[in-house]
Copies of this chain bind each other. A is one copy, B any other.
């Protein structure tokens, strides 16, 4: 009897799982947006992360690819996060939804910051040569722009 139920469960569940995969495959990322974070003010930085979270949860969220580009004072998002668990959680949350955070090499050089020692959860591949050029290049590729 247990086996019959298990078999029935499989028969019912299998097409549902397939359907769910298909549904996921259907929500292609047809929209792209780059959030431009360049001020050290922590209220603006935290608001930017809330904005991104709201964007993810909006009706357009599933079809939208999101990047955050930090440079200048905006690098505080990643330096401050090293000692701020709440900020860490906000960053972890957006990254769990495939948001990438891009970091400006000019800013790292100018402020003498090390990717691994000074920035929260950042790797070399997150670094772009110039934050502003990255933001402009993304728009040339069709991305939208938001200045939080």
Chain B nearest CB, measured from A37 CB (Å): 11
Chain B CB within 10 A, most for which of A59, A136, A146: A136
List residues of chain B with CB within 8 A of the CB of A136. Answer: 31, 33, 55, 60, 64, 144, 146
The 0/1 profile, CB within 8 Å of B marked 1, for residues 104-131 of chain A is: 1010000000000000000000000111
Give 16 A-B pairs besides A33-B136, A55-B130, A132-B148 with Cβ atoms closer than 8 angstroms. Answer: A31-B137, A31-B140, A36-B147, A38-B47, A38-B148, A51-B71, A51-B132, A52-B132, A54-B131, A55-B132, A57-B130, A60-B130, A60-B137, A61-B133, A139-B145, A140-B144
